Amino acid sequence: PWGYSKENGPATWHKDCPIANTGVRQSPIDLITTGQTCAKYDSNLKPVIVSYPAFSEATFLNNGHSVQFQPSAGNLSELSGGPLTKKYKFEQFHFHWGNNDSEGSEHRVNGKMYPAELHLVHWNSESPNFSSFQEAVGSNDPHALCVLGFFLKVGAENASLKPITDLLSKVKNAGSSVSFPGKFDLKAVLPETLTDYYTYDGSLTTPPLAECVKWIVFKEPIEVSTAQMEAFRAVDDGHGKPITGNYRPPCPLHTRTVAASFK
């Protein structure tokens, strides 16, 4: 199966997933802010609107290539606004991180990587063509999914993310999961104003690399402490080794343009 080691990492994914090399809207990308192919300010881009009532029932899982927080299907969390014309339903969030503080994020800004990146995954709940996340991924719809990306940087401890980072030791082994104790307030993790972001058409950053994602990557990083970063680096990959780099390198932009909601 695919992973992030030499033997099964991003450079080998094309074998099972040809779109890795032939796709023209692959993710992640390097978000360039000056020069020819740079992000272009679009004054029509509105703030992103999230409605995330605290989740009361969720599973926290180590699937061997990331740790994922997935609420029960009944969750009513929604996303709209920004570049979107439809309402999207929340599916799950997960993280990508590196072995040290100079690597780990999937998207980059002028070549700079952050130590980690949080992905909030949503699917278009207003499409007549599908009615679940898995169907959305397989639909070939160019905006079946919308993923919100937030960079993590090392600083003060993040109290809102502490319930998550404190749980990492409980899912150290790949394939292990715990039911999330109590409520989790995802809204509290995010900056209160979701106005400054980059947005572009891309793909899943892991196999099946489906080119069905409207990406929204926020400019402002979220702070976490060194201890919280270290907790990610202790999570195992299923081969008795910690996951120390579950990020895909940047992909070619091809004819795509990146829009920025800010100057």
Residue numbers of the site for ligand N8A (CB under 6 A)? 119, 121, 137, 147, 204-208
The partner in contact with residue 137, picked from Zn ion, ligand N8A, none with C-beta cut-offs of 5 to 8 angstroms by kind, is ligand N8A
Task: Report the residue number, 72 or 182, with the smaller CB distance to ligand N8A.
Answer: 72
Classify residue 170 by its DSSP letter.
Answer: G
The partner in contact with residue 204, picked from Zn ion, ligand N8A, none with C-beta cut-offs of 5 to 8 angstroms by kind, is ligand N8A
Query: Can you tell me the distance from the alpha carbon of 260 to that of 135, in angstroms, rounded to the nearest whole number?
Result: 30
Q: How far is the CB of 165 from ligand N8A (least distance, A)?
A: 19
Q: How far is the CB of 193 from ligand N8A (least distance, A)?
A: 23
The partner in contact with residue 152, picked from ligand N8A, Zn ion, none with C-beta cut-offs of 5 to 8 angstroms by kind, is none
Query: Can you tell me the distance from the alpha carbon of 243 to that of 3, in angstroms, rounded to the nearest whole number?
Result: 10
The partner in contact with residue 26, picked from Zn ion, ligand N8A, none with C-beta cut-offs of 5 to 8 angstroms by kind, is none
Position 65 contacts Zn ion (CB under 5 A): no
Position 122 contacts Zn ion (CB under 5 A): no
Position 119 contacts Zn ion (CB under 5 A): yes
Nearest to 158 by CA among 191, 181, 182: 191
Piece in contact with Zn ion (CB under 5 A), picked from 7-15, 25-33, 70-78, 111-119: 111-119
Task: Report the residue number, 8 or 53, with the smaller CB distance to Zn ion.
Answer: 8
Q: Give catalytic status of residue 254 as yes or no.
A: no
Task: Report the residue number, 13 or 180, with the smaller CB distance to ligand N8A.
Answer: 13
- Structure-token pair, residue 127: 């499409």
The partner in contact with residue 235, picked from ligand N8A, Zn ion, none with C-beta cut-offs of 5 to 8 angstroms by kind, is none
Nearest to 204 by CA among 7, 10, 6: 10
Q: Please compute Rg for the chain using Cα positions.
A: 17
Comparing every residue's Cβ against Zn ion, the nearest one is: 119
Query: Can you tell me the distance from the alpha carbon of 80 to that of 260, in angstroms, rounded to the nearest whole number?
Result: 17
Distances (CA, A) of 215 to 85, 100, 119, 145, 150: 14, 25, 10, 8, 11
Piece in contact with Zn ion (CB under 5 A), picked from 4-12, 18-26, 113-121, 161-169: 113-121
Q: Which of 14, 65, 96, 107 is catalytic?
A: 65
Spatial neighbors of 18 by CB under 8 A, at least 6 apart, are none
Distances (CA, A) of 207 to 17, 41, 73, 210: 7, 31, 23, 7
Task: Tell me which amino acid residue 49 is.
Answer: I
Q: Which residues are catalytic?
A: 65
Contact residues toward Zn ion (CB under 5 A) are 119
